Structure 1
Amino acid sequence: MRLADFIDDPRSIELIERTRGYARHFFEREGTHGFSHVERVFNLCLHIGKEEGADLEILALAALLHDVARPLESAGRVEDHAVEGARIARHYLRSIGYPEDRTEAVAHAIEAHRFSRGPEPGTLEAKILSDADKLDAIGAIGVARVFMYSGEHGRSIEDSLRHFEEKILKLKDLMYTETARRLAEGRHRFTEEFIERIRREIEGEI
Structure 2
Amino acid sequence: MDPVMQKIHDHARTVMGNGGSHGFDHVERVTSLCERIGRAEGADMAILVPAALLHDIARPLEKECGLPHEQEGARMAEEYLNSLGYDAGAVRIIAAAIRTHRFTTAAEPESLEARILSDADKLDALGAVGIARTFMRAGEHRTTMQDGINHFHEKLLKLPDRMYTKTARQIAAKRHAILLRFLLLMEDEIRVPVP
> Whole-Å Cα distance in 1 between the matches of residues 106 and 87 of structure 2?
25
Aligned residue identity for 1:187 = R
> Whole-Å Cα distance in 1 between the matches of residues 93 and 18 of structure 2?
29
Gapped regions of structure 1 (runs ≥ 5): 4-12
Structure 2 equivalent of residue 58 of structure 1: 47
Task: Please say if 1:85 is aligned against 2:89.
Answer: no
CA shift at 1:199, angstroms? 0.7
Correspondence list, 1:13-162, <5 A = 13-76=2-65, 78-162=66-150
Aligned residue identity for 2:12 = A
> Whole-Å Cα distance in 2 between the matches of residues 195 and 61 of structure 1?
35
SS at match of 2:182: helix
> Whole-Å Cα distance in 2 between the matches of residues 53 and 133 of structure 1?
18
Q: TM-score, normalised by structure 1?
A: 0.91
Query: Quick one: percent identity of the two aligned structures?
Result: 49
> Whole-Å Cα distance in 2 between the matches of residues 161 and 40 of structure 1?
23
SS at match of 1:75: helix
Answer whether contact 2:16 2:58 (CA < 8 A) is retained.
no
Equivalenced residue count is 193
Which 10-residue stretch deviates more, 32-41 or 155-164?
155-164
Q: Deviations over 1:110-164 (max 9, x none)?
A: 0010121132100000000000000000110000000011112221111211110
Q: TM-score, normalised by structure 2?
A: 0.96
SS at match of 2:103: coil
CA shift at 1:97, angstroms? 1.0
CA shift at 1:204, angstroms? 5.2
CA shift at 1:79, angstroms? 2.2
Aligned residue identity for 1:68 = I
> Whole-Å Cα distance in 1 between the matches of residues 152 and 161 of structure 2?
14
SS at match of 2:40: helix
Q: Indicate which of 162, 168, 175 corresponds to 1:174.
A: 162
Which 10-residue stretch deviates more, 110-119 or 31-40?
110-119
> Whole-Å Cα distance in 2 between the matches of residues 27 and 101 of structure 1?
25
> Whole-Å Cα distance in 1 between the matches of residues 101 and 59 of structure 2?
12
CA shift at 1:28, angstroms? 3.0
Q: Please, what is the CA RMSD of the aligned residues?
A: 1.2
Aligned residue identity for 1:137 = A
SS at match of 2:16: coil
Aligned residue identity for 1:54 = A
- TM superposition outliers: structure 1 runs of 4+ over 4 Å: none
CA shift at 1:93, angstroms? 1.0
> Whole-Å Cα distance in 1 between the matches of residues 188 and 36 of structure 2?
36
Aligned residue identity for 1:99 = D
